[in-house]
Amino acid sequence: MSMLEAAGVHVRFGDRVVLESVDLAVADGEFHGVMGPNGAGKTTFFNVLTGRVKPSRGKVRLGGEDVTGLSPHRIAAKGIARSFQIMTLFDEFSARDNVMMGLPEFRARGLDFVHAVAGDRRFAEQASEALAAVGLVEKGDVRAKDLSYGDRRALEIAVALAQAPRVLCLDEPTSGLGSDGVQRLAALIARLKGKLTIVAIEHDMEFLFSLADRISVIHWGQVVARGTPHELQRNDWVRRSNLGKFA
């Protein structure tokens, strides 16, 4: 059984069809890459998976359970965490506080923040674990806005990891990163691979082709190609392009 499955997802905005019968089945522990030109419908597809856009047709299943059309927080509670193309952090808060706010137990306390932050060491420990996973444990007390761009990207992933998700959705995780930042992120993903089901939209082909188990190419709101990086690179035109050099 697939950990994450989309079946016949269809989204229409006015007179534009953004997604048409998109299917996806991601196995437990698989790293699945999603690529496609700008405006092809990749982010909309992510928004359907994470509950921000309700599809007009089609189903999304997590571990076999139908989660179609649930609100984003319900879907997050069921185990799909995501990062965004544009970063969404609390800038004035420390890295650790940002991560703590992602902890499900912390969120369950609702507005009782004072007790939550002051009282419970457990949260801080869990947050430190998530920070350690992304290599930020020493920067736990640094305010998010004082972190470097690469560290902020890593912190976003730590926030997502703090939710103990079953599926991690990353929207262009390498965007804005320098080459060493991309390498660090690649090393992080390589560590998470196999332990977590990951779906990533990505434009950095070297990153995607070196890490992904399978890749779906979305264009015109449809899956126009799908396969392992090796399978996708068999195409003559792909070999002639920049993608060919990652064979």
Partner 1 sequence: MAAPMLVLDDVRKVYTRGRVIRRPTFTLQANLSLDEPGIVGVVGPNGAGKTTLFEMMTGSNAPTSGRVLVAGTDIHGVKYRERDRLAIHYHQSYQVRRFRKRIPSAFLTPSPTKMPLVHLFDEPQFNLQDGYIGFMLDFFRKLRDEGRLVILCMHPTAAWHLDILADIAERFLFVAGGGVAQIADFRGLVAEPSFRTYLGPEMTRAADALCQGSVAGKFDA
Q: Interface with partner 1 by CB under 8 A: which residues?
A: 12, 15-18, 20, 36-41, 205, 217, 219-222, 224-225, 232, 235-244
**Closest by alpha carbon to 85, among 175, 157, 154, 161?**
175
Between 134 and 205, name the residue whose CB sits nearer to partner 1.
Answer: 205
Angle at 73 between CA 67 and CA 78, to 5 degrees: 50
In whole angstroms, the minimum distance from the beta carbon of 18 to partner 1 comes to: 6
Helix (H) or strand (E) holding 100: helix 95-100
In whole angstroms, the minimum distance from the beta carbon of 220 to partner 1 comes to: 5
- Give CA torsion, residues 57, 173, 184, 28, to 10 deg: -10
**CA 112 to each of CA 53, 107, 116, 121: distance values in angstroms, whole numbers, following the listed order:** 30, 9, 6, 15
In whole angstroms, the minimum distance from the beta carbon of 213 to partner 1 comes to: 18
In whole angstroms, the minimum distance from the beta carbon of 115 to partner 1 comes to: 49
Between 54 and 239, name the residue whose CB sits nearer to partner 1.
Answer: 239
Between 123 and 209, name the residue whose CB sits nearer to partner 1.
Answer: 209
DSSP 23-91: EEEE-TT-EEEEE--TTSSHHHHHHHHTTSS--SEEEEEETTEE-TT--HHHHHHHTEEEE-SS----T
Under 8 Å between Cβ of 89 and 156? yes
* Chain-centroid distance, C-alpha 201: 8
In whole angstroms, the minimum distance from the beta carbon of 136 to partner 1 comes to: 33
Neighbours of 203 (CB within 10 A): 14
In whole angstroms, the minimum distance from the beta carbon of 172 to partner 1 comes to: 15
